[in-house]
Structure 1
Amino acid sequence: MDITLFDALLLIVAGLFAGFINTLAGSGSLITLPLLMFLGLSPHQANATNRVAIFFQTLVAVRNFEKQKTLDIKQNLSLVIPALIGSAVGATLAININEELLNAFIGGLLFVMFFVILFKPERWVKEQAGSVDAKPTFWRIIIFFGIGLYGGFIQAGVGFFLLAGLVLGVGYDLIRANAVKVLIVFCYTALALGIFMWSGQVNYLFGIVLAIGNASGAYIASRYSKQIGTKYIRYILLVAVMLAALKVLGVFELLF
């Protein structure tokens, strides 16, 4: 499938924005996933191709967080492993699901995440940051397996669930939770991407162009997040997610 200059610019700009907010919080794939579908990819191809950008985005962020001594990889392997197993299950489900059902799922997810972003539940998570003294439990394994399963299946919006799990289930403060979140996403994305590549659903050209934007956004966010304001990101994301949901579900076609 060919890509025009306009398509490439659109992917890079969207990827830049998505990589930035994915690294600082999450939900950037709520923009890039429907965009890939708008540009002609099937739901399966868009879901698979989006992982190329996520892989490079998280690779850049992990390296920067490591350099800044914010992230200890070995210490968090007990969280990575159940997420890896879950992502393998989720990605396998994603490549085998009916295309119409996947399209409906993506559209429905966009609407749900619109209200999640609107009501800002992350405020409650931030209030709990550092106040939880959690110890390793069986339920922690289940929680991160479930998050990995969701991430392997669809990815969009997984950042919020990971932050909630790391703050409320593990007891991390927000700075450390954000770094560990990026590590977990990097590890399970590598596995999920391999499954999608094996299935032949990845559009490498679109994925690499999108990855340029995502990786750039991740670099900016992980290096200069304290100097960059994020006040208006939520409002831009709300508008983009609602428009994407209406488009994916075919509402525009019914109205016009």
Structure 2
Amino acid sequence: MLHEFLIVCPLVFLAGFVDAIAGGGGLISLPAYLMAGLPAHFAVGTNKLSSAMGTVISTAEFARSGYIRVKLAFFSVLAAIIGSTIGAHIALHISDTYFRLILLIVLPATAGYLLLNRHALNSKLADSTKLKIYQFILTLIISLCLGVYDGFYGPGTGTFLILLLTGVAHLPINLAAGNTKVINLTTNVTALVVFLLSGKVIMLLGLTAGVFSIVANFLGAAYYKKYGSKIARPIIIVVLLIFFGKVIWDFIN
């Protein structure tokens, strides 16, 4: 029992800090629960609890800093929920093997883009700047598509959202990160309710790790507000490499 806390809590802290800045914290926290010996369903469910607790804090901090546009976030969340429902149904009919093969191509390409493009994730925008209609539409399309991905597979959704919102919809990094937080919080809470109703959450471990996640998300959001996206690019590259390694490992085993 004690070893579970010793393994999970430090890694959840690191995941929370990373997630507040660049997304992708689940790529660290979920393996932490699995390494602690939790059955897969309990690992996912308990991870949703601690992640949701931390994401509430970072989302609130981003909102307080003006990084969340209410109208944009509202419709993005609706699109993500619709996409997630579609993705879950697709997962019932398509082999996961084919999707993993796609990831083996997409992930190195994304990492290469970040390595070669030093201006990625470095955009800025004053709070008073109005978004163009094409940015709004592209944001909704991206939210829908990543919702499908989240419902079908899931890990790395936050990272991919930030990459696409900045690279395709041309949102500034601050608004992209803020919008991502709202979407992640909604999907986390929705999934958490399902796991709670199914009895697949270890409450004491999840709540304790959640405290670590709250502190980490607060520090990560504070770091982001002070230093901006300077650390986002290298963190996302590292996260993508970890994710790529995980996909390969899962594929060959």
| Alignment match, 1:148 | 147
Q: Aligned pair 1:126/2:109, yes or no? A: no
For residues 205 and 234 of structure 2, what CA distance do their matches in structure 1 show? 28
| Alignment match, 1:254 | none
Amino acid at match of 1:27: G
Instruction: Give the structure-2-normalised TM-score.
Output: 0.74
Count of residues paired in the alignment:
242
Query: Does the Cα contact within 8 Å between 2:24 and 2:156 map onto a contact in 1?
Result: yes
Q: Relative to structure 1, is the Cα distance of residues 187 and 62 closer, same or farther in structure 2, using a 3 angstrom cutoff?
A: same
Q: Aligned pair 1:73/2:66, yes or no? A: no
| Alignment match, 2:18 | 21
For residues 243 and 34 of structure 1, what CA distance do their matches in structure 2 show? 13
| Alignment match, 2:46 | 49
Per the TM alignment, residue 224 of structure 1 is displaced from its structure 2 partner at its CA by 2.5
Partner of 1:59: helix, strand, or coil?
A: helix
Query: Does the Cα contact within 8 Å between 1:79 and 1:144 map onto a contact in 2?
Result: yes
Query: Does the Cα contact within 8 Å between 2:68 and 2:179 map onto a contact in 1?
Result: yes
Query: Does the Cα contact within 8 Å between 1:47 and 1:154 map onto a contact in 2?
Result: no
Partner of 2:83: helix, strand, or coil?
A: helix
Query: Does the Cα contact within 8 Å between 1:15 and 1:212 map onto a contact in 2?
Result: no
| Alignment match, 1:63 | 60
Query: Does the Cα contact within 8 Å between 1:128 and 1:168 map onto a contact in 2?
Result: no
Query: Does the Cα contact within 8 Å between 1:129 and 1:168 map onto a contact in 2?
Result: no
Give deviations 1:167-218, integer Å, cap 9, x for gaps: 2443310111111111111122211221222233223233223222222111
Q: Aligned pair 1:214/2:213, yes or no? A: yes
**Unmatched runs of 5 consecutive residues or more in structure 1:** 252-256
**Unmatched runs of 5 consecutive residues or more in structure 2:** 126-130
Q: CA RMSD in A?
A: 3.9
| Alignment match, 1:200 | 199
Instruction: State which drifts further: 216-225 or 146-155.
Output: 146-155
Amino acid at match of 1:206: L
Give deviations 1:12-35, integer Å, cap 9, x for gaps: 211111111111112221111122
Amino acid at match of 1:24: I
